[in-house]
Amino acid sequence: MAGYVCTIAGGKGGVGKTTTAVNVGAGLQEMGYDVAVVDADLGMANLGAMLTVEPEKSLHEILAGDAAVSEALTDAPGGLTVIPGEQSLEAFADADPAKLRKVIKTLRNAYDVVLIDTGAGLSHEVAVPLGLADGIVLVTTPDDVAIGDTVKTAELADRIDGEVVGAIINRVTRHTDVADIADRFQFPLLAVVPDDPQATTDEPLVLNRPESHAAEAYLRLTDALERLFFQGETVAGDIETIVDDSWFVEEADEDGDAEDEGSGGVFGLFN
């Protein structure tokens, strides 16, 4: 049986697409699935640097016709297999995004789950991974521009018949108006991930700091996605938004106003 292809996308750079792909991938690998993560951010590849791996060959070389998929498969922390990209302008110029279809087809036949980490914007190189996915997970932060760009990415996915299964909001604090953000979406809110300054330095966070609230959110998201990918559950009928008020209690205590927990922001939103 062919593997499930999930594209991790979002309209703006720096919202945590790679962090999400790495942590969900590591979580699924821990559950016993063989997972491959592909860095399809052809302009600003950062998967290899985040995981501190040095591949023999890159995705860019595959897309330029200079390497086979098997040559670029790279072992990463947590038992993950990754295909990192390059950061040079020359590699970007030589890479043909259309060849990603063959790469993903090859990986789909070899792995249980293929996670595609995409770039920002509404370019052809972003549209291709959206069209190749069985399901698309959108990633945003509470930043207003990031939210707007995420909505545009969903609209692009719809135009090419891609299926958005839902979105996650990264870097949420107790002051984030999650309800207002969710109201702007025409798709389900899968998870709220609390702000964690270590989220890009201890990757995969679910392995290196599993006690953190952000890691707990990613692990719970991974569990929900596993049910979505393989057990026939649906977001609308079976999967509730992942959020826990307790993730923000310490933050409220530090502010000295924990008594305001019920007055907006994330607190009590999904009770």
Local mean pLDDT, 10-residue blocks, the chain (271 residues): 92 92 97 97 92 94 96 95 91 91 97 95 86 97 96 95 96 94 95 86 89 96 96 83 89 57 49 42
The pLDDT, as a whole number, for residue 269 is: 54
Enclosing domain of residue 10: 4-260
- For residues 215 and 201, give the distance between their C-alpha atoms in angstroms, rounded to a whole number: 13
Asked if the structure places residue 271 within a domain, the reply is no
In a domain, 115, yes or no: yes
Is 132 part of a structural domain of the chain?
yes
* Averaged confidence pLDDT in the chain: 90
Distance CA 175, CA 182 (A): 15
pLDDT at 262: 46
The radius of gyration computed from the CA coordinates of the chain, to the nearest angstrom, equals 18
User: Any idea what the CATH number is for the domain that residue 99 is in?
Assistant: 3.40.50.300
Q: What percent of the chain has a predicted confidence (pLDDT) above 70?
A: 92
Is-contact 129 21, C-beta < 8 A?
no
**Does a structural domain hold residue 235?**
yes
Asked whether residue 265 is domain-assigned, the answer is no
What is the count of structural domains for the chain?
A: 1
Retrieve residue 6's tokens: 């999930």
The overall pTM is greater than 0.95: no
Q: Which residues contact 227 (CB under 8 A, 6 or more apart)?
A: 233, 238, 239
pLDDT at 197: 80
Going by C-alpha positions, the residue among 101, 200, 187 that lies closest to residue 151 is 187
Residue 267 lies in a domain: no
